[in-house]
Amino acid sequence: MMETNRCKLVKLQETDYVDVKRLYSDVKVREFLGGPVSEEEFNAKFERMIKSKNDAIYWVIRQRESSLFIGLISLALHHDGVSTEVSYQLLPEWWGKGYATEVVKEVIRYAFVEFRLAKVIAETQTANLLSCRLLEGVCMKLEQKVQRFGAEQAIYAIYNLSL
């Protein structure tokens, strides 16, 4: 488990199914992620997340004091098969309050300290202005734009300066 000022990040467990399903069925959350997924798609995805070993780590984000579910954050192998990507989804009621910034910073720190990674990336649609602003706010720099998933994607990166 990791903690920030206001959040605790706990490794994903089977008991998180209902909470995580809320993310994958929420229209606002999934607006730039291909839309809500069917129950069948979600079940397959959740099973892959639970069973992931060396290729990904998933943490449930909970409010530290109340344990209320906020969202999900992960470190996983990117589509390029080389880079490690930080990804996040938060329920809309937690947007704009600094929670995403707080947990993204902590997961990047974890990646640099625990795994001694040289670089962490994040990919988001260029149309997702809130996510682009968040990534820039945690000192990630836009490295490239690509067409993927039917939309223009921005790939941001941050480098471990302590290596």
Of 154, 12, 15, 114, give the one whose Cα is nearest residue 71. Answer: 12
pLDDT mean over 118-144: 97
**Sign of the CA dihedral running 125, 92, 37, 12:** positive
Separation of alpha carbons 108 and 135, rounded Å? 11
The encoded tokens of residue 91 equal 């329920």
Separation of alpha carbons 155 and 135, rounded Å? 10
Separation of alpha carbons 21 and 109, rounded Å? 27
pLDDT averaged over the chain? 96
Fold of 2-118: Aminopeptidase (3.40.630)
- pTM for this prediction: 0.95
Separation of alpha carbons 80 and 85, rounded Å? 10
- Band of residue 160 on the pLDDT scale cut at 50, 70, 90: very high
- Band of residue 135 on the pLDDT scale cut at 50, 70, 90: very high
Q: Which residues pair with 18 in a beta bridge?
A: none
- Band of residue 57 on the pLDDT scale cut at 50, 70, 90: very high
